[in-house]
A and B are shown apart, each in its own frame.
Chain A
Amino acid sequence: MREAAVDALVRGVWAAATGEASWVAALDPVAAHFRARMAVVQRFDLANHRVLAIESGGAPDLEDGVLQYLRQFHQLDTRKASLLEGRLVPHGGWYHDHEHLNEQFVASDPFYQHFLPAYGCRFVSGRTHAPAPDQACLFALELAPDRGPLDTDERAELDRIGGHLDEALRAYERLRRAQAQVLAGHQLLHTFAQPMWLIDTDRFVHDANAAAQAEITQARLLACRGPHLVATANRLEQALLAAVHQLRGQPHGSRRVLQHDPAGGLSPVWLHLVLLQPAESAGAFGAMPMLLVTLFDPLQVPAFDPYALSSLLDLTPTQARVAMALAQGLAVEQIAAATGTRVATVRSHVAAVLDRVGASRSDDLVRRLHDGHLLWGAVSRG
């Protein structure tokens, strides 16, 4: 009976680690099972001695206690420093404070006198581990005075949960970082002026930026057939098919470039494919390889945000507009004509921009403006 209950707690821990449920949903039942006031997971930055995060479950009236702890009382916590440095118990071992701290110490320690009693806690049983070399983690139960310390059976049960928690937290941190990168990938895709698609090896479209969506609507060179990305020209479609096929199973970062000369004497465009191949992918399950497809049309120039440009490079609004026009390939004479100013005026703006940016020539300026497109690219959304 107890074994099934602990199995359910383990399942909860993993559900939280994989993002299926919240940590509260995982820790509430842990606190209930052990009749603890609270079950808490704390992560610490060992290099800078900071509390990184606290996840807790248990009595709802302790939420205030967690805040108080984060604000002030963690500085007083006598257990923390010695625990985290692994001085009292080795990492992965258990710490039961009634075994380490006697009544006399407790009676004189401000943390035990001022903080814990206010929240009905007295005993702490916890387990430390190191999810990363510069981090420490404490998984602990805060126990009421009348509940008493954990007995041997309870320790064995908590040990089982702790063993899973070690690994679950590592997975959780790994996934959190990957999810941040996923978010960055999705957002940064939209800062590129070229149409870009994220497709899988079956050419199923998983993400596309605004330029790509416009391309699809026009069905100029690339189009969607159902959920799949296809080329409208037969020759390009054949080449795309072959390139995707060749890239399968290649190492991460492998590339293919397809040149396409559109009919009617238009200037050439290039289709660029990069393989995103996760380390662990196999068969029906596991990570899935994808491809980033970019349609590179030199005539398609990125739009810059003049506000970002002027504030990052200390340019006046007029200078920023001239810089943008240069970056978009306009000649000084064209800029003068478009803005209705004299060529000499535009030249003096160009000179001022070169000076501000620290570029010596206009092609150097163009290079640096395009290099920083993530900084001042106008973010367009579909």
Chain B
Amino acid sequence: MPVPDFDATVRSLYRAATGAAPWDATLAALRDGLGAGALEVQQAPASAAAGRVVDAELCWAHGPAPGLPGNTARLQLRPQADAAVELQITWSGFQAPDTATRTWLERLAPHLTDALRADARLRQLPARAQLGQLLLDTLPHPAWLLLGDGCIASANAAACEAGTPGRWSHAPGPTLVLRTPAAQQTFDAALAHAQASGTGRPVLALLPPLAGLAATACEGDGAPGEPALRARWLIRRLDANADDPVLLAILFDPDAGAAASTSAAGAAMLSAHALAGAFGFTPAESRVAVWLAQGCTVRQIAALLAVAPSTVRSHLDAVMAKLGVARKLDAVRLLVQGGWMWRAGPGEGMQDA
């Protein structure tokens, strides 16, 4: 009976455990490699696990399959103190695992335990990482998540938008590289400061206005030096005491949002569809609400939607009534306060606004 390639099998197990491949396909490949008819994994509750197997006595139990002609190999695993897993491989008919297969399975057992243990520890990781990305993306300013070695762990939507033409920074490569040495020096010093200071609560490391950054930031868009002069980095160490610090670097330019109102990028706009769903607005009311949250005046909205200002005002009254507020300012506050919840998703920005 042939056995699968040992190292390839081991790698595939850890690949599944670290979220790079689905488990069902991995286990199906193992089953087929062993020429078995079935491979089942059963999770037993903690009570059933109590005191039955310890890691040191990992070993397969071979025997006839219950009820059917065939043979099984069963392995009890304890990936965690409060969880037990039983793995059962069944060969149908007169097939039975030979000595080579049995030896191979014994060799694989410790890796199976380790992979399942890693899986149990890591299974919350992807969704929680997605939460981090989701919340980072709610920030309209470019933000980067940096690791202790300077590598970029992730960039938010605003940073990706700003970074594509190399506008803010950004030589290709795993680290964040600013375009002038002076800006780089100030940035590196702030990084070091934030790394050194973060022993308890997260801290803010503020930078003075960056002349070097201003020069590069304005290159592409024709506006001479002025607007980006007030741009600054805000760096915050997120972890309390780990050896591998994680830093959140936000590039804050108070002037960046100034011209945003009538020509806003799709990502930052609220979605008319989402607003209609959440607050029961009519399509016309939703469109008014979207531009209202962008900071437009009634007259600007009227021009954008090509309707009379009086029409916009009556839609606005309906919007305010549905939101339960009396002032226009309160309507704006309410819409932007929960803005990330009704923001346009990828690809649905402009067309419904």
- Residues of chain A at the chain B interface (Cβ within 8 Å): 4, 7, 10-11, 14-15, 17-20, 43, 45-48, 50, 52-53, 132, 134-135, 160, 163-164, 167-168, 171, 174-189, 192-194, 198, 206-207, 252-253, 255, 257, 259, 267-268, 270, 272, 274, 276-290, 292, 294, 296, 298, 301-302, 308, 311-314, 327, 329, 331, 356-359, 361-364, 366-368, 370-372, 374-375, 379
B37-78 residues with Cβ-Cβ distance < 8 A to A are 41, 43
Residue B338, interface by CB 8 Å: yes
Distance of A184 Cα from B156 Cα, bound (Å) = 12
Interface string of B121-140 (1 = CB under 8 A from A): 11111111111111110111
Is the CB–CB distance between B261 and A364 below 8 Å?
yes
Is the CB–CB distance between A287 and B175 below 8 Å?
no
Distance of A361 Cα from B274 Cα, bound (Å) = 26
Distance of A59 Cα from B188 Cα, bound (Å) = 33
Q: A19-B121, A285-B16, A363-B329 are in contact. Are A276 and B107 (CB under 8 A)?
A: no
Is the CB–CB distance between A286 and B234 below 8 Å?
no
Contact residues in B for A134 (Cβ distance below 8 Å): 172-174
Residue B221, interface by CB 8 Å: no
8 Å CB contact of B132 from A132, A182, A301: A182
Contact residues in B for A19 (Cβ distance below 8 Å): 118, 121-122
Distance of A313 Cα from B346 Cα, bound (Å) = 30
B249-292 residues with Cβ-Cβ distance < 8 A to A are 250, 252, 254-255, 257-258, 261, 268, 274, 277-280, 292
Is the CB–CB distance between B124 and A11 below 8 Å?
no
Known: A285-B16, A358-B254, A374-B135. 16 other contacts (CB 8 A): A20-B117, A47-B175, A163-B7, A180-B147, A180-B238, A184-B246, A194-B338, A257-B278, A270-B278, A277-B130, A279-B19, A286-B16, A288-B126, A313-B254, A331-B327, A358-B257
Residue B315, interface by CB 8 Å: no
8 contacts between A and B (CB under 8 A): A132-B174, A164-B11, A185-B128, A276-B131, A286-B123, A296-B338, A302-B337, A367-B293
Interface string of B106-120 (1 = CB under 8 A from A): 010011001111110
Distance of A363 Cα from B300 Cα, bound (Å) = 14
Is the CB–CB distance between A280 and B22 below 8 Å?
yes
Contact residues in B for A284 (Cβ distance below 8 Å): 23, 41, 43
Contact residues in B for A267 (Cβ distance below 8 Å): 324
Distance of A188 Cα from B248 Cα, bound (Å) = 10
Residue B163, interface by CB 8 Å: no
8 Å CB contact of B172 from A47, A160, A193, A252: A47
Is the CB–CB distance between A314 and B14 below 8 Å?
no
Residue B228, interface by CB 8 Å: no
Distance of A331 Cα from B325 Cα, bound (Å) = 13
Q: Which of B94-102, B199-207, B210-218, B305-313 contacts A (4 or more CB under 8 A)?
A: B199-207
Contact residues in B for A11 (Cβ distance below 8 Å): 110-111, 114
Distance of A47 Cα from B170 Cα, bound (Å) = 11
Is the CB–CB distance between A286 and B22 below 8 Å?
yes
Is the CB–CB distance between A314 and B174 below 8 Å?
no
Distance of A217 Cα from B115 Cα, bound (Å) = 39
Contact residues in A for B107 (Cβ distance below 8 Å): 4, 7
Scoring B20, B116, B174 by chain A CB atoms within 10 A of each residue's CB, the highest score goes to: B174
Is the CB–CB distance between A47 and B174 below 8 Å?
yes
Contact residues in A for B294 (Cβ distance below 8 Å): 367
Distance of A286 Cα from B167 Cα, bound (Å) = 39
Across the two chains, which residue of chain A brings its CB closest to B12?
A167
Across the two chains, which residue of chain B brings its CB closest to A51?
B149
Residue B295, interface by CB 8 Å: yes
Contact residues in A for B20 (Cβ distance below 8 Å): 171, 174, 280
Residue B81, interface by CB 8 Å: no
Residue B21, interface by CB 8 Å: yes
Residue B3, interface by CB 8 Å: no
Distance of A267 Cα from B238 Cα, bound (Å) = 36
Contact residues in A for B14 (Cβ distance below 8 Å): 14, 17-18, 167-168, 171
Contact residues in B for A362 (Cβ distance below 8 Å): 329
Is the CB–CB distance between B173 and A45 below 8 Å?
yes
Q: A135-B174, A292-B134, A329-B333 are in contact. Are A257 and B127 (CB under 8 A)?
A: no
Across the two chains, which residue of chain A brings its CB closest to B248?
A184
Q: A20-B118, A361-B295 are in contact. Are A367 and B332 (CB under 8 A)?
A: yes
Residue B4, interface by CB 8 Å: no
Q: A47-B171, A181-B153, A367-B295 are in contact. Are A327 and B202 (CB under 8 A)?
A: no
Contact residues in A for B345 (Cβ distance below 8 Å): 253
Across the two chains, which residue of chain A brings its CB closest to B271?
A255
Distance of A52 Cα from B293 Cα, bound (Å) = 44
Residue B334, interface by CB 8 Å: yes
Across the two chains, which residue of chain A brings its CB closest to B18?
A171
Is the CB–CB distance between A177 and B128 below 8 Å?
no
Is the CB–CB distance between A259 and B332 below 8 Å?
no
Contact residues in B for A194 (Cβ distance below 8 Å): 338
Contact residues in B for A179 (Cβ distance below 8 Å): 125, 129, 246
B147-194 residues with Cβ-Cβ distance < 8 A to A are 147, 149-151, 153-154, 171-175, 177
